[in-house]
């Protein structure tokens, strides 16, 4: 990997993780690691362009159908692809189909860009993760194989101790906080060959006192009411949180446009 490279464009492809959920801005929109990464890259390269095609809730088949061709047509210097994890969390998951769709996505994207970036997504510790761990690890083994065959970079967030810390996860327990997204941006930044800005992004946060029993039960109740039950409801009715939502940033535009929009969102 080239040291301190110069990239002129970035296209991000994926689901809620790449959309940036739980890293909420004052206007209610989401920032996320891809926006943070784009800002860093833009600071080094005048005229830098950025698109983010991610939409929350998307399965890998939807990412292939709705995002991959558009991303490939943009001919960006860097394309990030994160998908398939939503599939592994479904009660019924055909891992053979998931591998086939990931292969299709990588085979289309890798020749169309300067550098394709794949990720082993982070995961919290707990019984839910343990239940789906075999599927997740099968997904990541597929990504490793595709990266070797197509010259992609794999960013290993799954093996980063810091990102397993529940303090870096939002109240929905599915998406990272602003600090978590910042660490992901740093991980991708370094994987692309840039000089580290935080050499300790993998290092766990200092220990803190565990919340008391009553606080934990209150948090569990809030999680069930605001996130778990709605998620179950969507699964039972075949709906997705991303139904009808447009891509976050569908055109490859100068990053300055995004920076101005973020500034407008800041409270007076």
What pLDDT score was predicted for residue 208?
62
Rounded to 10 deg, the angle between the 255-265 and 33-44 helix axes is 120
145 burial via Cβ count (<10 Å: 0-12, 13-18, 19+): middle
Query: Cβ of 177: how many Cβ atoms within 10 Å?
Result: 17
What pLDDT score was predicted for residue 88?
92
Rounded distance, CA 240 to CA 223, Å? 18
Write down the residue that tokens 């597929």 correspond to.
Answer: 142
Query: Which of 168, 177, 169, 164 is closest to 125 using CA atoms?
Result: 164
Rounded distance, CA 53 to CA 74, Å? 11
pLDDT in 10s for each residue of the chain, 268 residues: 566 788 999 999 999 999 999 898 998 899 999 999 999 999 999 999 999 999 999 999 999 999 999 999 999 999 999 999 999 988 889 999 999 999 999 999 999 999 999 999 987 666 666 778 899 999 999 999 999 999 999 999 998 999 999 889 887 768 899 999 999 999 999 999 999 999 999 998 777 667 776 766 766 567 666 555 666 665 555 666 666 788 999 999 999 866 655 554 444 4
What pLDDT score was predicted for residue 268?
40
Residue 180 CA to its chain's centroid (Å): 11
What pLDDT score was predicted for residue 91?
81
What pLDDT score was predicted for residue 238?
62
Residue 249 near residue 52 (C-beta atoms within 8 A): yes
Cα–Cα distances (Å) from 82 to 120, 159, 239, 268, in that order, read 8, 16, 21, 35
Collect all residues with Cβ–Cβ distance below 8 Å to 50 and sequence separation of at least 6. Answer: 9, 10, 11, 12, 38, 41, 42, 249, 252, 253, 254, 255, 258
What strand order describes the sheet that includes 78-82? 153-156, 115-120, 78-82, 9-14, 49-52, 249-254
Cα–Cα distances (Å) from 100 to 13, 143, 146, in that order, read 17, 11, 11
Q: Would you call 178 helix, strand, or coil by DSSP?
A: helix
Q: DSSP letter string over 10-54?
A: EEEEESHHHHTTT-B-TTS-B--HHHHHHHHHHHHSTT-EEEE--
Write down the residue that tokens 């047509």 correspond to.
Answer: 73
Rounded distance, CA 51 to CA 115, Å? 15
Q: What is the pTM of this model?
A: 0.86
Token pair belonging to 111: 């020749």
């Amino acid at each position: 990997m080239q040291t301190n490279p110069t990239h002129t464009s970035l296209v991000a492809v994926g689901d809620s993780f790449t959309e940036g959920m739980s890293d909420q801005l004052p206007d209610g929109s989401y920032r996320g690691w891809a926006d943070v990464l784009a800002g860093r890259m833009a600071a080094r390269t005048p005229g830098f362009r950025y698109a983010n095609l991610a939409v929350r809730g998307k399965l890998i088949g939807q990412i292939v159908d709705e995002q991959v061709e558009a991303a490939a047509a943009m001919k960006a210097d860097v394309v990030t692809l994160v998908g398939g994890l939503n599939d592994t969390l479904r009660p019924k998951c055909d891992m053979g189909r998931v591998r086939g769709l990931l292969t299709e996505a990588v085979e289309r994207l890798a020749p169309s860009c300067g550098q394709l970036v794949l990720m082993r997504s982070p995961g919290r510790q707990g019984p839910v993760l343990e239940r789906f761990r075999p599927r997740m690890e099968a997904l990541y083994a597929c990504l490793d194989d595709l990266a070797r065959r197509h010259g992609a970079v794999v960013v290993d967030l799954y093996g980063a101790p810091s990102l397993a810390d529940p303090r870096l996860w939002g109240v929905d327990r599915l998406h990272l906080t602003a600090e978590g997204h910042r660490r992901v941006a740093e991980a991708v930044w370094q994987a692309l060959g840039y000089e580290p800005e935080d050499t300790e992004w993998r290092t766990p946060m200092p220990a803190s006192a565990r919340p008391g029993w009553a606080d934990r039960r209150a948090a569990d109740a809030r999680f069930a009411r605001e996130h778990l039950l709605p998620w179950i409801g969507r699964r039972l009715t075949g709906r997705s949180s991303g139904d009808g939502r447009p891509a976050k940033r569908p055109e490859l535009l100068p990053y300055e446009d995004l920076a101005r929009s973020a500034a407008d969102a800041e409270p007076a």
